[in-house]
Amino acid sequence: MRNLTKKILLPALYLTCSGPLLAQYTFFTPKEAFAIEVSLPNSAEKRLPMYRNAITSLHVQGDRVLGGTTAKDGLSPYLFVASISERKVLSTKDLSETITGQKGIATGFCKGADNQLYAGTLAQVNKNQQPGHLIQVGIGNGGKIEVKDLGAPVAGEGIFALLSNREGTELYGISYPGGRFFTYNIATKKVQVYDEVAPKEKELKDAHDFAIGPEVYLCKALVQDNAGLVYGSTAGNRIFAFDPVKKSIQFLETPLPSVWGREVLGQVEAWAKAPDGRLYGGNAGDGQLFVLDPKTKKIKNLGKPMMMARLQALAFGRDGKLYGLAGGAPGYSHLFYYDENGAGFVDLGNPEFKMVAPGIEQGILWRGFQLSTLAASADGKYMVMGEDEALSQLMIFPVE
């Protein structure tokens, strides 16, 4: 062991001190990137309180970033609006002012008509179990947040995934914990619930055998193709497609990509639609990126950017690259991009951006460990990332 130490480990240690050769302690820090301090206890600034700020929903609308959070047990979540140009939080709103008993907003935000945004909530788990609600969110002058309660679409259930159609007239969702697919007509408020995608006895037994819960096997993200079909995953490592015209559900023949014996972990947790209409998805189970061709209904496994599980977010930048967040606890999220016509997967690792705010005018560096959400501005110029921490911040970088 002594020889090993002298001949191998200590020289290796020296190499680690020698600079960027091995890319250790170098971070993704593009010019003009910055962090916005969103969470800070006991502050005179507009900030979110501790344990109520895990950023689980993000949407970029012009200069405004709308965030929705998830809280720890017994606490209620927040909504907030930040300005990209001003690099600061403009407003915050405690959801409990509108709806009580809620724990998280993890499904936002879907764009509806008239610039209204929609999300679904998950309720606190307690004796007086409340259902999750649909909420309509508007951003007013000065970033003022207006929230309207649209009620609970599925009795006794929360909302685990949500999508709006292209016209912004209808919402599609997955209920929690039952995993039922539902549609919600924004104008008429009519709800239709479909049981086909809910896990059946076989899937529930598998989940029990693997000691996993609905957080692991329910579909976490939905997407609509150019023909109007809505796609999502189901327990059992399958993809379904809902036809809003025929009001019918079919299951694709090609399964989600998987690692041998781990199909039970199959869960789509992110989608991004390419300009050519192909659908790129992220499988939480083992972190594979895949592409679904809506014409052939075939799925191609594109591989994974890092060793760990999870692929929590995807968005196209104006450079044509697909950006995403791979991995997560108990390790760290890595920012990556996938360039189909170039390098393929490029792991950018942890971003480290400068944060400037009153009291820290000189700026401090913020490193993103548990990044969980990513949203692109409509023009693909900005990528906005949100953290899932006890005190979560925003990290924003421009795409070249």
Partner 1 sequence: MNFRSFNGLFAGASLVAGLLLAPGFKTAFAQKSATTEKNIAFIEYPDFPEAHSTWGSIGYNAASNTVHIGVTNHSNKIGLYTFDPAQNSMKLNGFIGDMAHLRKFQWQGKIHSKIVASPDGSIYFSTDGGESREEYLMEHPQGYAGGFFMKWDPKTGDLKNLGMGLPYESIKDIEIDPKTGTLYGITYPQAHFLVFDPAKNDLRDFGRLASSHVPRVLFTDSWGNCYYVDWRQRLVKYEKERDTLVFARESLPAFAGTPGSKIITGVTAYAKDEAKGIIYLVTYGAKLIAFHPEKEGIGKVEDLGGVIDTGKAVSWGPYVPNLNIGTNGKLYYIIGGHGNYVLKDKTVLVEYDPATGKKTILKEYPTTAITEATGSDIRDKDGNLYFAGRRRLTGKGDLSSPFLIKFNPEKDIRK
Residues that bind partner 1 (CB under 8 A): 1-2, 5-6, 9-10, 13-14, 16-17, 19, 22, 24-25, 40-43, 50-51, 307-308, 330-332, 352, 354-355, 359-360, 362-367, 369-370, 389-391
For residue 248, CA distances in Å to 102, 192, 241, 251, 296 come to 31, 12, 8, 10, 18
In the bound state with partner 1, the residue whose beta carbon lies nearer, of 9 and 155, is 9
Question: What single-letter DSSP state applies at residue 96?
Answer: G
Contact 314, 374 (CB under 8 A): yes
- Rounded CA-CA distance 119/135 in Å is 5
> Cβ 172 to partner 1, closest distance in Å?
34
In the bound state with partner 1, the residue whose beta carbon lies nearer, of 204 and 355, is 355
> Cβ 105 to partner 1, closest distance in Å?
19
For the four alpha carbons of 195, 197, 202 and 205, in that order, the dihedral sign comes to negative
In the bound state with partner 1, the residue whose beta carbon lies nearer, of 153 and 349, is 349
In the bound state with partner 1, the residue whose beta carbon lies nearer, of 42 and 188, is 42
In the bound state with partner 1, the residue whose beta carbon lies nearer, of 59 and 310, is 310
> Cβ 367 to partner 1, closest distance in Å?
4
- Rounded CA-CA distance 194/188 in Å is 18
In the bound state with partner 1, the residue whose beta carbon lies nearer, of 316 and 336, is 336
> Cβ 363 to partner 1, closest distance in Å?
5
- Rounded CA-CA distance 274/12 in Å is 43
- Percentage helix, strand, coil for the chain under 3-state DSSP, each rounded to 5: 10, 45, 45
> Cβ 92 to partner 1, closest distance in Å?
17
Unique residue bearing structure tokens 């890092």: 306
Q: Which pairs with CB-CB distance under 8 Å and at least 24 residues apart come from 275-279?
A: 275/316, 277/225, 277/226, 279/223, 279/225, 279/231
- Rounded CA-CA distance 16/110 in Å is 45
> Cβ 40 to partner 1, closest distance in Å?
8
